[in-house]
Chain A
Amino acid sequence: MPQVKILEEVCKGCGLCCDEVCPVDILILSPNRINSSGYHPAEVTDNGKCIGCGYCFKICPEPAIEVYK
């Protein structure tokens, strides 16, 4: 099964991956977590639904997203 991994310390919480990019809509900006730079990183809500398309990785400026299979 494909899996998305967010590198929380690298993420700047821009939210580009969270808005209409994920076809299965499993990425959100974390409401609770905060990284050492003070950003709310992106969070995966349900990794079981991931289809491994890599759109989130392609739009990520850092890139703070890795996709595994």
Chain B
Amino acid sequence: MKQLFGRPNGLTDVLQRYCPGCGHGIVHRIIGDLLIKLNIRECTVGIAPVGCSVFADEYFNCDMIQPPHGRGPAVSTGIKRARPDCIVFSYQGDGDLAAIGTAEIVHAAARNENITIVFINNAIFGMTGGQLAPTTLPGMKSTTSVQGRDIKKQGYPIKVCELLAGLDGPYYLVRTAVNTPKNVINTEKALKNAFVNQIENKGFSMVEILSMCPTNWGMTPVQSKKWVDDTMMKYYPLGEYRNRAKEEK
């Protein structure tokens, strides 16, 4: 029998140590698939984040580096400039990219560095125990906002795609989700565009992916899947925020 769908060779055989229902695994699988489909596994350098996916270097079947917290775009810039023949992707969570690494991501985007950023937005700090993140929704409970996020005290969430779309630099900015098969297919397309842009030397591509964190949201995986649809997408609308490829046509 022919295998239609199965674990891609872009992932190692190591069992992923994520909680049940976590969105990281879905995004790992999509990237692992693309490494093979685009035939770039041999020349790819991945940047592992700090957070739940800090062990991404064990899961991806390509070269990986683990820089300090939030410094993914800066390290990617260095690798890409020193070795332009390498394909560089930085895999980051919302605490990594939107809190500690805000300066790095904004300047990498402004310089239109030829790198690919995969940004997982689950509206909470996952690994450290569910604290308030810059992307936590107003009114959402976390371990450091037990009454819900109060916009008078903690301010408003950062919408990273909209923030970077204010710059002239970025080539491709898109927000997708991984909570339904349809959204997963759209994420596959978006990530493929992001990697193809880099192969064609177009410039900075970022894919923001709304992902589930059932453990820290205090929900079952199925409830969290619906919560992304009902609550998160209202605050973070899906869609393309910048696509220079279309504008140039």
Residues of chain A touching chain B, judged by Cβ–Cβ distance below 8 Å, are 2-3, 10, 12-16, 18-19, 21, 39, 52, 54-55, 57-63, 65-69
- A61 CB to closest chain B CB (Å) equals 3
Binds A, one of B12-20, B124-132, B154-162: B12-20
A63 lies within 8 A of B29 (CB):
yes
- Contact residue range for chain B? 20 to 34
Q: Tell me which residues across on chain A come within 8 A of B214, comparing CB atoms.
A: 14
Known: A13-B20, A14-B21, A63-B29. Contact between A2 and B180, CB under 8 A? no
Q: Tell me which residues across on chain B come within 8 A of A19, comparing CB atoms.
A: 222, 225
How far is B20's CA from A21's CA once the two chains are assembled, in angstroms? 17
B21 lies within 8 A of A66 (CB):
no
**Binary interface profile of B, 9-51, with partner A (CB < 8 Å = 1, else 0)?**
0000001101111111110010000000000000000000000
A58 lies within 8 A of B185 (CB):
yes
A-B contact count (CB 8 A): 78
Q: Tell me which residues across on chain A come within 8 A of B78, comparing CB atoms.
A: none
Interchain Cβ contacts under 8 Å between A and B, 17 examples: A2-B4, A10-B15, A14-B20, A15-B21, A16-B221, A19-B225, A59-B178, A61-B21, A61-B22, A61-B25, A62-B16, A63-B5, A63-B6, A63-B25, A66-B5, A67-B5, A68-B2
How far is B3's CA from A13's CA once the two chains are assembled, in angstroms? 23
A58 lies within 8 A of B222 (CB):
no
- B209 CB to closest chain A CB (Å) equals 13
Please indicate which of the listed interface residues A10, A12, A15, A68 has the most CB atoms of chain B within 10 Å of its own CB.
A12
